[in-house]
C-alpha cells in the first residue's frame, strides 16, 4: 500500500455543487487554500474554519431545542428546514463581516449542517465514493484507504479526545443504536452507520482512541456486476446463480477485506424477489430489507448489553446471533442468511443446514481454502458446550453443499493494485479420511498458466440439480474458463 505524506491541506474540496448535497470529491476541511484541476481549468479549493462552524452549530442547536419545546409535534423535515434557514442566516452574518466568497459561504453552511445532522467533520470522507477505509488514530490523525490501494493522511476530525468520543457516541445514537456507547467502562464500540458503513472503535486501552470505518463501496452489486469487476467470469456467474436457485447451502470464505460480503449480497439477488428469508447479523451490512429488490425479508440484528449483568452473569439486554437463530427458525422462512459466522452461532447455523430446507448462505473468515473446516471446528470448540471436532466435521459435511473461497492479491506496495476474485469452489461430498469433510474442486485456480482466479475443473456430483434450474453443464468443459487473459499481476506464476 502506498502511504502519502501529510500535505499542508491534503483533502480540501472544490466548490460544492448544491447546498445540502455532498459532492463525491475530496472533502472540505480547515487548512491552507490551494487549487485543483477540474476539466482542464484551475478551480480554487475551499477551506472551512471549524471553530466558526462549531460556534454556529451550537447557536442553531439552542434554537432547535427551543423550537422542539414550543412545537413538540413538528415533523423532522420541517424541523430540519427551519434549522437550515437559521444556518443560512448565521453564515450570512459571518460572511458579511469577513467578506467571504459565495463558495466559502456554501462550504461553511455544509460544514455546520454536517455537524448538526450528519457525521460532522467525518462526513465528507463518508461521502467520497473512492474511500474504502477511514482509519482514526486519535482526533488529529486520520488516514483514508482508497479502493485502488492508495493511503492518504487527511485533516483532523476532532480537536480533543473528548470531542472524538462524543462524535462516536453521536454516531451510535444517530444509527439507532442507543444502547451502544463508548467510554472507559465500555471501551469498545461496533455498529453500522446510517449509510451501511461498519465502525469499530476502542478507547481507554491505549494512549488514544482508535477507530476504523469500513465502507461498502460495492453495496448493491449483483453477479453480473462482479463479472464486470473481474471477481468472477461468466461461467462461474452462471454456476453460482444456479447453485443458489437450486437451493444449495453455500458458505463464502476468505480473507479479511477480500469481498465476502459483497459476493454474498450479489448472490442474494439470485433469490426470487418474493422469497421469504431472514438475515442475521451483528451489524446490518447486507441491506436486503431495503434494497428495493427483496420483498419478504426478516432482518434481525444482534444487540449488545447495557453494561450490567443479569443473575446468570450474562450482559443484561444482550442478544447474540445464537439467540436470534432459534426464533428465526420459527418464522416460516424459506432460507436463512448469516452475515458472518464467527462464534457459537456456527452450531445453530449448521443445525439449520442439516435439519431445515436448503438454500441457506453464510460467510466465514479463513486465510486459505484448506483451513476452512478447521476454522469451523475452532468455532465449535468455543461454543458453551465445548463441542467436539468430530461433530463439527460431521455437521459441516452433512449440512454444506458448497464452499466458495474469495481471495485477494495486493500489489499496491510494488506499484500495482488490489485484485479481488473467487479462487475456489469446493463441493462437499460427505465424510472423508480422518472424519474430515471430503470435497471436490469444482473450480480452482489455473495456476499452471498463471491464472489465480477460478476456472472449471470438474462436474459436481449434484450437476443434475443445477441442470434442473437452467444451468448449461457444457460450460464446465471450458478448462480456461471465460477469462480473456490471466490476472494481470506484476509478480505471479505467469511472470
Q: Where are the beta strands (DSSP E) in 241-292?
A: 250-254, 276-281
Tell me the CB-side half-sphere exposure of residue 442, using CA atoms within 13 A. 26
Distance CA 315, CA 296 (A): 32
pLDDT-derived band at 275 (thresholds 50, 70, 90) equals: very high
CATH of domain 223-477: 3.40.50.300
Name the nearest CA neighbour of 237 among 221, 251, 256, 218. Answer: 221
What would be the CATH architecture of the domain defined by 129-217? 2-Layer Sandwich (3.30)
Residue 214 — pLDDT band, cuts 50, 70, 90?
confident
* 3-class state of residue 485 by DSSP: coil
Q: Grid coordinates representing 180?
A: 451502544
Instruction: Report pLDDT for 306.
Output: 63
CA dihedral (163, 164, 165, 166) positive or negative = positive
Does the pLDDT at position 15 exceed 80? no
Taking the alpha carbons of 252, 254, 256, 262 in that order, is the dihedral positive or negative? Answer: negative
pLDDT in tens, 407-447: 999 998 888 888 999 999 999 999 998 899 999 999 999 98
Structure confidence at residue 50 as a pLDDT band (50, 70, 90): confident
Minimum mean pLDDT range among 195-209, 241-255, 277-291, 401-415: 277-291
What tens digit of pLDDT does each residue of 84-115 get? 999 999 999 999 998 888 888 898 999 999 88
Q: How far apart are CA 196 and CA 87, in angstroms?
A: 28
Indicate the SS3 state at residue 410: strand
What residue ranges do the domains of the chain occupy? 1-127, 129-217, 223-477
CA-CA distance, 162 to 354, in Å (whole number)? 50
From the centroid of its chain, how far is CA 190? Answer: 12
Which CA distances in Å does 366 have to 321, 332, 374, 405, 460?
20, 32, 9, 9, 23
CB-based burial, 229-245: b 16+ in 10 Å, e otherwise: eebbbebbbbbbbbbbb
Amino acid at each position: 500500500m502506498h502511504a502519502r505524506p501529510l500535505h499542508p491541506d491534503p483533502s480540501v474540496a472544490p466548490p460544492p455543487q448544491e447546498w445540502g448535497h455532498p459532492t463525491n470529491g475530496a472533502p472540505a476541511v480547515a487548512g491552507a487554500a490551494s487549487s485543483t484541476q477540474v476539466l482542464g481549468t484551475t478551480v480554487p479549493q475551499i477551506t472551512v474554519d471549524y471553530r466558526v462552524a462549531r460556534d454556529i452549530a451550537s447557536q442553531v442547536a439552542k434554537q432547535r431545542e427551543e423550537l422542539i419545546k414550543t412545537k413538540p409535534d413538528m415533523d423532522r423535515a420541517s424541523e430540519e428546514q427551519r434549522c437550515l434557514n437559521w444556518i443560512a442566516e448565521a453564515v450570512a452574518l459571518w460572511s458579511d463581516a469577513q467578506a467571504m466568497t459565495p463558495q466559502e459561504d456554501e462550504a461553511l453552511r455544509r460544514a455546520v449542517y454536517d455537524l448538526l445532522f450528519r457525521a460532522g467533520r467525518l462526513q465528507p470522507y463518508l461521502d467520497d465514493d473512492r474511500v474504502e477505509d477511514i482509519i482514526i488514530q486519535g482526533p488529529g490523525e486520520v488516514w483514508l484507504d482508497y479502493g485502488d490501494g492508495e493511503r492518504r493522511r487527511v485533516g483532523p476530525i476532532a480537536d480533543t479526545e473528548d470531542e472524538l468520543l462524543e462524535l462516536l457516541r453521536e454516531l451510535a445514537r444517530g444509527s439507532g443504536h442507543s444502547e451502544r456507547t463508548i467510554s472507559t467502562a465500555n471501551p469498545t464500540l461496533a455498529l453500522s452507520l446510517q449509510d451501511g458503513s461498519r465502525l469499530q472503535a476502542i478507547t481507554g486501552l491505549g494512549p488514544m482512541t482508535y477507530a476504523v470505518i469500513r465502507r461498502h463501496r460495492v453495496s448493491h452489486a449483483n453477479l453480473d456486476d462482479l463479472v464486470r469487476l473481474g471477481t468472477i467470469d461468466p461461467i462461474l456467474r452462471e454456476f453460482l446463480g444456479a447453485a443458489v436457485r437450486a437451493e444449495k447451502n453455500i458458505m463464502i470464505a476468505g480473507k479479511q477485506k477480500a469481498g465476502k460480503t459483497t459476493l454474498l449480497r450479489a448472490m442474494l439477488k439470485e433469490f426470487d424477489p418474493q422469497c421469504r428469508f431472514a438475515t442475521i447479523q451483528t451489524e446490518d451490512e447486507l441491506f436486503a430489507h431495503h434494497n428495493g429488490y427483496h420483498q419478504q425479508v426478516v432482518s434481525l440484528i444482534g444487540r449488545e448489553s447495557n453494561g450490567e449483568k443479569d443473575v446468570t452473569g450474562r450482559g443484561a439486554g444482550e442478544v447474540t446471533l445464537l439467540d436470534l437463530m432459534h426464533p428465526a427458525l420459527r418464522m416460516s422462512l424459506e432460507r436463512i442468511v448469516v452475515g458472518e459466522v464467527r462464534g457459537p452461532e456456527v452450531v445453530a447455523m449448521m443445525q439449520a443446514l442439516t435439519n431445515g430446507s436448503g438454500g441457506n448462505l453464510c460467510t466465514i473468515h479463513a486465510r486459505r481454502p484448506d483451513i476452512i473446516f478447521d476454522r469451523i471446528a475452532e468455532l465449535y470448540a468455543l461454543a458453551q458446550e465445548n463441542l467436539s471436532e468430530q461433530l463439527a466435521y460431521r455437521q459441516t459435511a452433512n449440512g454444506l453443499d458448497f464452499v466458495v473461497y474469495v481471495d485477494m492479491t495486493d500489489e499496491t506496495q510494488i506499484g500495482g493494485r488490489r485484485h479481488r476474485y473467487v479462487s475456489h469452489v469446493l463441493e462437499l461430498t460427505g465424510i472423508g479420511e480422518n472424519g474430515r469433510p471430503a470435497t471436490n474442486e469444482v473450480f480452482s485456480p489455473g495456476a499452471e498458466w498463471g491464472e489465480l482466479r477460478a476456472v472449471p475443473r470438474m462436474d459436481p456430483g449434484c450437476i443434475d440439480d443445477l441442470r434442473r434450474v437452467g444451468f448449461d453443464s457444457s460450460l464446465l468443459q471450458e478448462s480456461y474458463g471465460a477469462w480473456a487473459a490471466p490476472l494481470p499481476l506484476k509478480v505471479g506464476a505467469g511472470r
